[in-house]
């Protein structure tokens, strides 16, 4: 995946269903599905269905504030349901943020006691 946002990513194929995923949420704006390489007993991703320039959080436009709020709201709803003892939400942004897929996604992790600070 190139990081300049010029090409679609594997997440577009997950949205379209071309690539299967273990989906736990689907609404008009976003989906959530389990991470293929989980870093915690519970680890899922919340992504906008339409990337629309949101290759990464730092590319967000003012007119996308409501969408960003929606993603965060869905993330906590699912997080509470799956991890009643608490959870962590992470957004990796850019090279130094360890981002690998350039389609905005919130990581939600839990199901164990998380450590802080992270690596
Ligand atoms: P990033 O490093 O960009 O924040 O995280 C990308 C995440 O997407 C990684 O945790 C990786 O395991 C996950 N991922 C990459 N490709 C796939 C895929 O095809 N299916 C699923 N379910 N997760 C993926």
Q: What tokens were used for 23?
A: 């989906």
pLDDT of residue 4: 59
CB-CB contact of 46 with 106 (8 Å)? yes
In this predicted model, what pLDDT tens digit does every residue of 80-97 receive, in sequence order? 999 999 999 999 999 999
Where does 35-80 show beta strands of DSSP type E?
42-48
Angle in degrees, CA 55, 2, 26, rounded to 5: 40
Mutate to test the pocket of ligand 1, among 58, 88, 100, 103 (most ligand atoms within 8 A of CB): 100
Mean model confidence pLDDT for the chain: 95
User: In this model, does residue 118 exceed pLDDT 90?
Assistant: no
**Atom nearest to 91 CA in ligand 1:** 4
Please spell the DSSP secondary structure of 80-97, one letter per residue: HHH-TT-EEEE---TTTT
CA of 112 to the centre of ligand 1 (A): 20
Q: Is 49 helix (H, G, I), strand (E, B) or coil?
A: coil
| Model pTM score | 0.96
Which residues does ligand 1 sit against, CB inside 6 Å?
Answer: 10, 19, 21, 33-37, 92, 98-101
Closest CA to 47 of 85, 117, 99, 114: 99
Residues identified as active-site: 105
What's the average model confidence in pLDDT over 95-105?
97
Q: Which is higher by pLDDT, 3 or 35?
A: 35
Q: How confident is the model at residue 1 (pLDDT cuts 50, 70, 90)?
A: very low
CA of 84 to the centre of ligand 1 (A): 24
């Amino acid at each position: 995946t190139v990081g300049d946002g010029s090409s679609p990513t594997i997440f577009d194929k997950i949205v379209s269903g071309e690539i299967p995923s273990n989906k736990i949420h689907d609404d008009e704006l976003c989906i959530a599905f389990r991470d293929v390489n989980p870093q915690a007993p519970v680890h899922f991703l919340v992504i906008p269905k339409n990337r629309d320039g949101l290759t990464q959080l730092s590319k967000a436009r003012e007119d996308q504030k409501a969408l960003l709020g929606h993603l965060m709201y869905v993330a906590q709803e699912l997080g509470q349901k799956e991890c009643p003892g608490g959870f962590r939400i992470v957004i990796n942004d850019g090279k130094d943020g360890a981002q690998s897929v350039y389609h905005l996604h919130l990581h939600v992790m839990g199901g164990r006691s998380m450590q802080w600070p992270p690596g």
